[in-house]
């Protein structure tokens, strides 16, 4: 693992207290609405209110901007515990981090003061606009353009698959400012929903995370003040990649939470369900499935925390660790939720139990914030260089 000292972490009493607090809120305020949120493809407003009231909607924002200044593991624990009952709701803290990290990493002090306090206070949310229909894994092939005009930047183009679009007020958007320079000609901007020439498209109809709206963003001569650029022109793609080292562990945390929720449901079910005159839990074939699920979740959880902790100290293998955590945890989530459906038998295939939703929700964790194929490329490149 290279410089191991930087990857060490210890869970503190404060971390355990955060877990207990979020679990209590999740069970009481979020879980009761999860099935309905999924069935109706509606935004989990109850979850947003509960998380915001308790200060768990954007824990990563530094105290200087009115935030909690939570460490990366604490933020992962929040996301994990929300995802355990509702993956859609866990995208509230996760995407607030994704959208604001470029600003935290590279933004001017003035821009941070203009944007971050409203997110910390829960008055606004922030989304992240990197992907386009024809620039997904190959994000540097984006076509959205920004040109400087006097005291403004003018954006034109379309972004796709933007999480929490429409409910967010702020959007971090990557656009080409110098087409000659390739990835080095991409810049990052902060756009507000009220900016002229900005519009949100219709909602995608999705397999899972149906409570979180996913839409296109349209920029038609969208005009923003010149000081809304994040960092220097041409540094946007670098900022985008650095951001992923801080946010890929949060997707890992989301995956771990979904998997844990599915295991918890499966354990409860097999203890109750009787076949051949005994509880299904008494069959060794079932016990071995549960044991494998538990081992994999625990391994994924620790890898996620190691990667999250490493973000604070950096190091040459940071990207590799974050890619490993995201890919491993999401693969585990897909396997565990699929096995959970199996353990429920025919009942697991119905919407009467949460495991079919968890299986559908788990799938996206293998795809977004870099497909697991891209993560494997990142890992291999790091090993071979």
Q: Which residues pair with 365 in a beta bridge?
A: none
The span from the CA of 94 to the CA of 306, in Å, is 18
**Other residues' Cβ atoms within 10 Å of the Cβ of residue 354:** 23
369 among known catalytic residues: yes
Measured between alpha carbons, how far is residue 23 from residues 16, 62, 85, 127, 160 in Å? Answer: 10, 23, 9, 25, 33
Give yes or no for a contact between 365 and 329, defined as CB atoms under 8 angstroms apart: yes
**Contact partners, residue 202, CB within 8 Å, separation at least 6:** 215, 216
Instruction: State the pairing for strand pair 152-163/170-176.
Output: unpaired
**Contact partners, residue 10, CB within 8 Å, separation at least 6:** none
The one catalytic residue among 68, 81, 132, 369? 369
Buried (b) or exposed (e) across 274-290, using 16+ Cβ within 10 A?
eeeeeebbeeeebeebb
Which sequence positions are flagged as catalytic?
A: 369
């Amino acid at each position: 693992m290279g410089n191991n000292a930087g990857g060490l972490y210890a869970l503190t009493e404060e971390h355990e207290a955060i877990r207990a607090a979020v679990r209590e809120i999740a069970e009481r305020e979020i879980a009761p609405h999860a099935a309905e949120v999924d069935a109706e493809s509606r935004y989990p407003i109850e979850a947003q209110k509960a998380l915001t009231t308790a200060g768990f909607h954007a824990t990563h924002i530094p105290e200087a901007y009115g935030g909690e200044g939570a460490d990366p593991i604490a933020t992962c624990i929040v996301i994990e515990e929300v995802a355990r009952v509702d993956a859609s709701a866990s995208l509230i803290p996760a995407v607030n981090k994704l959208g604001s990290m470029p600003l935290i990493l590279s933004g001017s002090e003035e821009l941070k003061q203009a944007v971050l306090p409203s997110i910390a206070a829960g008055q606004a949310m922030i989304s992240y606009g990197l992907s386009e229909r024809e620039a997904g894994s190959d994000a540097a092939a984006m076509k959205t353009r920004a040109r400087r005009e006097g005291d403004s930047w003018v954006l034109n183009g379309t972004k796709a698959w933007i999480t929490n679009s429409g409910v967010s007020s702020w959007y971090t958007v990557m656009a080409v400012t110098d087409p000659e320079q390739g990835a080095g000609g991409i810049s990052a901007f902060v756009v507000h929903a009220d900016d002229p020439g900005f519009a949100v498209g219709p909602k995608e109809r999705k397999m899972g995370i149906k409570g979180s709206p996913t839409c296109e963003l349209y920029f038609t001569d969208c005009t923003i003040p010149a000081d809304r650029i994040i960092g220097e022109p041409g540094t946007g793609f670098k900022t985008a990649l650095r951001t992923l080292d801080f946010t890929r562990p949060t997707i890992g945390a989301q995956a771990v939470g979904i998997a844990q929720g599915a295991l918890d449901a499966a354990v409860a079910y097999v203890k109750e369900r009787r076949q051949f005159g005994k509880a299904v839990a008494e069959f060794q074939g079932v016990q071995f499935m549960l044991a494998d699920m538990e081992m994999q979740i625990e391994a994924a959880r620790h890898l996620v925390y190691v990667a999250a902790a490493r973000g604070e100290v950096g190091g040459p293998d940071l990207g590799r660790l974050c890619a490993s955590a995201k890919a491993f945890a999401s693969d585990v989530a897909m396997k565990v939720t699929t096995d959970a459906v199996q353990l429920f038998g025919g009942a697991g295939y119905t919407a009467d139990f949460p495991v079919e939703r968890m299986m559908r929700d788990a799938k996206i964790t293998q795809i977004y914030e870099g497909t697991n194929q891209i993560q494997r490329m990142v890992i291999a490149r790091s090993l071979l260089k």
